[in-house]
Amino acid sequence: MTTDICSMTLTEAAAALQKKELTARAAVRACLDRIAATEPAIGALLHVDADGALARAEELDAQGPRADQPLWGVPVTVKDALSTKGIPTTAASRILENFVPFYDAFVVERLRKAGAILLGKANMDEFAMGSSTENSAFKPTRNPWNTGRVPGGSSGGSAASVAARQCFASLGSDTGGSIRQPAAFCGCVGLKPTYGRVSRYGLFAFASSLDQVGPLTRTVEDCGRVLTVIAGHDPRDTTSEPKPDEDFTLAIRHAGKSLAGVRLGVPRDFFGEGLADEVREACEAALERARELGAELVDVELPPTDIASATYYIIAMAEASSNLARYDGVRYGRRAPDVHTLDELYVESRSQGFGEEVKRRIMLGSYVLSSGYYDAYFRKAAQTRRLIRDAWCAVLEGCDAIATPVAPVTAWPLGSHATNPLQAYLMDAYTIPVNLAGLPGLSLPVGLGSESGMPVGLQLIGKAFDESTLLRVGHVVEQALPRIGSPGIPASH
C-alpha cells in the first residue's frame, strides 16, 4: 500500500484525499516509511519532523477535507534555506547548526494554509552555494537514479526527495539554476518563477537580486498546483510584485494536445560545443516532437553564455559577501568559544562556521566590492546584466518561449569536481542568464541519456510573469513524450 500511495502524483494524491479515499495520516505514514527505506542511501533530508507531521495529519483527518485547501493532507518537504517555525533551519551550514526559527517563510505559510503537511527539511549546498549538494556541511546527497552520482544543486535534497518518492512535492530556491539543474539531474519538473512572483520573506539570502523560490514536482500539472499556492504579493518583501493571485492549473487543464500557433525560439549556440551528445540527442528529440505537435521552431541569437557566466558570478558573489556579513557570532548562530576580543569572535566564529565554498565566494565577493575594483567589476557587471536582460526580452517578443538544454551534461560522479570549482561553475551556463534577466524557467525531463542512463532536462524560458504559457507548453510536451519511469533506489532498513 505504501508503494501505491507514494507512486501517486501530487494531483492524484490531493484528489484521493479530498474524496476520503486516502487519509492524511495514511499519506504521511507512507511517506515516512519511504523515507526510512531510502534515506540512508541518498541523504536527501537534514531533518524529519515525523511526530509533527503525524500530529498535523490527525488534526486534518479529524476536521475533514476542505475544498478551499488545494493541498489538504499532502506531505511535502522544503529546502533547508526556508525558515520553518519550531523546526531546525540550518541552510546546511555549521554556523546555523542549532538554529530553530520562530517564524515561517512566506511560502511555508502558504503551504500550511493550503493544507499541506511539512515532513522535513531538504539537504542543500551550504547557503545555496554549489551545483551538486556536495557542499552541505552535514552530508552529501546522492542521486536516486545512481547513488554514485550527484543530484545537482543547490536544491539537490529537494529534487532527490521528490525523485525518491519521499514526498509529493518540495520547494527549492534558484539563484543561478538551483531548482532547474537538480530537477533535470533527478528526472523531476522544476520551475524558477519570474523574479518577484514568489515572496523571498523567510528565505536565507544568497544573492538577493537573483534568488527565487519555486516548486519541484513529478509532473507539470503538480508544478502548476504548487505555484498557485505559493505565488502572491507579500508586503514584507519589497521585491514582491503586487500581482493578483492566479490559478496556474487553468492553463494546464485547457492545454489540449496541440502546440499549433506556439513559436519556440531555439538558440543554436546552446546546442553547440560543450554540450554532451546524449543531452543534445534527448533535447533535439523533444523539440522535434514539439514540432510534430504543431510548434514552430525558430532559430534565435542570444548573448554568449561565457559573458553571462562572468556577469553572474561577479554579482552573485558580491551579494553573497554582503548578505553573509550578518553571521558574525554576535546575534544568532555559531559563536566561537574561548575568544577574548571582538575581532577574534568575528574571525573564529566565521572560520569555524563557514565551509570552503562559502569562504571562497565571500572572499571573491569582497574583492570585487573593494575600493579600486568596484567600478571595474561590480558596476560593469551590473551594466552588462541589463544588456543581457534586454537581449533576452527582445528575443521573447518574437516567440512564446525559448528552449535550451538545462545543463551541458547529465549528473556527474560524486567528487569529480571537488578539486576544480571553476569546472562546477560552468555547469550553470545555460541557466544563469534566466536569473540575470529575472525571467521564468521550467525544467522538464525529456529522456534518459543514451550513454549514462541518467535523466536529461529541457529548459523552457518565458516572458516575465507568463508562467502559464511555460506550464501549458511543458504539459503538452510532457504528455507526448514517453515517461522516464522511476529510479531504482536500494532500500536500506
pLDDT tens-digit profile, the chain (493 residues): 555 899 999 999 999 999 999 999 999 999 999 999 999 999 999 999 999 999 999 999 999 999 999 999 999 999 999 999 999 999 999 999 999 999 999 999 999 999 999 999 999 999 999 999 999 999 999 999 999 999 999 999 999 999 999 999 999 999 999 999 999 999 999 999 999 999 999 999 999 999 999 999 999 999 999 999 999 999 999 999 999 999 999 999 999 999 999 999 999 999 988 899 999 999 999 999 999 999 999 999 999 999 999 999 999 999 999 999 999 999 888 999 999 999 999 999 999 999 999 999 999 999 999 988 888 899 999 999 999 999 999 999 999 999 999 999 999 999 987 767 767 777 899 999 999 999 999 999 999 999 999 999 999 999 999 999 999 999 999 999 999 988 976 544 3
The candidate with the shortest Cα–Cα distance to 396, out of 441, 430, 445, 456, is 441
**Residue 244 burial by CB count (10 A; 0-12/13-18/19+): exposed, middle or buried?**
exposed
User: How far apart, in whole angstroms, are the C-alpha atoms of residue 257 and residue 249?
Assistant: 15
Question: CB–CB of 456/184 below 8 Å?
Answer: yes
Q: Does the annotation count 452 as an active-site position?
A: no
The candidate with the shortest Cα–Cα distance to 224, out of 183, 182, 189, 179, is 189
Structural domains in the chain plus CATH codes: 2-298+393-480 (3.90.1300.10), 305-384 (no CATH)
Q: Buried b vs exposed e over 104-135: b needs ≥16 C-beta within 10 Å?
A: bbbbbbbbbebbbbbbbbbbbbbbbbbbbbbb
Q: What pTM does this model have? A: 0.95
Select which of 79, 121, 192, 463 is catalytic.
79
Q: Does the annotation count 359 as an active-site position?
A: no
Beginning with the edge strand found earlier in the chain, give each strand of the sheet holding 401-405 in spatial order: 45-48, 117-122, 75-79, 170-174, 212-217, 189-192, 441-448, 455-462, 401-405, 263-267, 296-300
Select which of 161, 170, 178, 468 is catalytic.
178
User: How far apart, in whole angstroms, are the C-alpha atoms of residue 455 and residue 182?
Assistant: 10
Q: Taking the CA atoms of the chain, what radius of gyration do you get in angstroms?
A: 21
Select which of 131, 132, 136, 154 is catalytic.
154
User: How far apart, in whole angstroms, are the C-alpha atoms of residue 211 and residue 412?
Assistant: 25
Residues whose CB falls within 8 Å of the CB of residue 190, separated by 6 or more in sequence, listed in order: 155, 159, 172, 174, 179, 180, 182, 183, 184, 214, 215, 216, 217, 223, 442, 443, 457
Element (H, E) at 283: helix 277-292
Q: Which three cell numbers stand for residue 290?
A: 514539439
Question: CB–CB of 59/191 below 8 Å?
Answer: no
Residue carrying C-alpha cell 550513454? 451
Q: Does the annotation count 258 as an active-site position?
A: no
Question: CB–CB of 121/127 below 8 Å?
Answer: no
